[in-house]
Amino acid sequence: MTGMEDDMPIKKMVLGAAIAIIAIAGLLTVTGAVTHAQGQSTSDYALLGKLDEILKGQKEIMEDLALMREELRVIKIRVTQQQ
């Protein structure tokens, strides 16, 4: 087994995380555009509620990324020990 083959799962995880971040950023952009297009029809309370939802989602994403980062660190250690 070569070094390149060992890196493939790690590269797939990093690529998957990058795609997820890009998709989420796109969704947040679309959500922001829709909220902006509604203008003054949305009350401040509703807007704050939506912002709280977005913040909660971002926190969940950051927690997931932290878990993935830790898993990647463990995988790197295992691969290094096997060589």
Task: Determine the pLDDT at residue 20.
Answer: 82
* Phi (first) and psi of residue 65, to 5 degrees: -65, -40
Which residues of the chain register pLDDT less than 70? 1-7, 30, 32-42
* Residue-level pLDDT at 1: 44
Into how many domains does the chain fold?
1
Angstrom distance (rounded) from CA 14 to CA 5: 15
Range of the domain at 57: 19-82
Residue 6 lies in a domain: no
Q: Is residue 42 part of a domain?
A: yes
CA angle 38, 39, 40 (to 5 degrees): 115
Residue 10 belongs to a domain: no
Tens of pLDDT, residue by residue over 5-15, are 556 777 788 88
